[in-house]
Amino acid sequence: MLRKIIQIEEEKCNGCGLCAKACHEGAIGMVNGKARLLRDDYCDGLGDCLPTCPTGAITFVRREAAAYDEAAVQANKAKKELGEQPPLPCGCPGSQSRALGGGEAPAAAAPAPAASALRQWPVQIKLAPVNAPYFDGANLLIAADCAAYAYGNFHQDFMRGKVALIGCPKLDEGDYSEKLTVILRENKIKSLTVVRMEVPCCGGIEHAAVTALQNSGKFIPWQVVTLSVDGRVLD
């Protein structure tokens, strides 16, 4: 039948996986690090996935496609809940296993514990109150929660003198941009630094921060720093 259905441009997809999370019918999955429409009959054509895509890779088209099959969708959901269906292969570069050369330093060579540069609590974006007093006049750091583990001197080089908020767009439900917009709009933020990892799914946190800055209606000095998984500053 001829009907409206989503189309995903692989070249634009950054592998963040947000669309797959937003698709309650299970029509979208991650294959070799890219979002893919897995089955036409799982797509209801409502487009819950469209607003979550940070790169505009998803659009509507009208083409020949199998009719939406709600019974098949519900049966698939039931199988997943029962663990009868193995998870789809993700292949996302952000979850690829790799060994790094850090190793463990001898006990005698262990440095003295460094003082924490954390200035507030909580640090999770989803938990932080939007009008907390520590935001007034703050230099705001929005960081991927993996960054502090990858970069050994994270407290000294990035957190010192800043209010830090962390999150992971691949694991957290929803989009951070709405809450970050309120934080930027309703507080006197002096500067914004975004620290993300090099993996594609981490683009979600950069997109949320930049979108929030644009939607806040304010001009705030900002920068994005990208870290490699082995702890190097890439830009």
The residue extents of the domains of the chain are 2-93, 116-227
What pLDDT is stored for residue 17 in this prediction?
85
> Who's near 19: CB < 8 A, 6+ residues apart?
8, 28, 35, 49, 52, 53, 58
Q: Which of 15-24, 111-120, 141-150, 210-219 has the lowest mean pLDDT?
A: 111-120
Q: Which of 51-55, 112-116, 143-147, 180-184 has the lowest mean pLDDT?
A: 112-116
Helix 177-186, helix 203-216: angle, nearest 10: 40
CA-nearest of 12, 63, 14, 17 to 40 is 63
Which CATH entry fits the domain spanning 116-227: 3.40.50, 1.25.40, 2.60.120, 2.60.40? 3.40.50
DSSP 202: G
The CATH number of the structural domain formed by 2-93 is: 3.30.70.20
Whole-prediction pTM value? Answer: 0.60
Give the largest CA-CA distance in the chain.
71
- Under a CB-based contact definition with an 8 Å cutoff, are residues 178 and 126 in contact? no
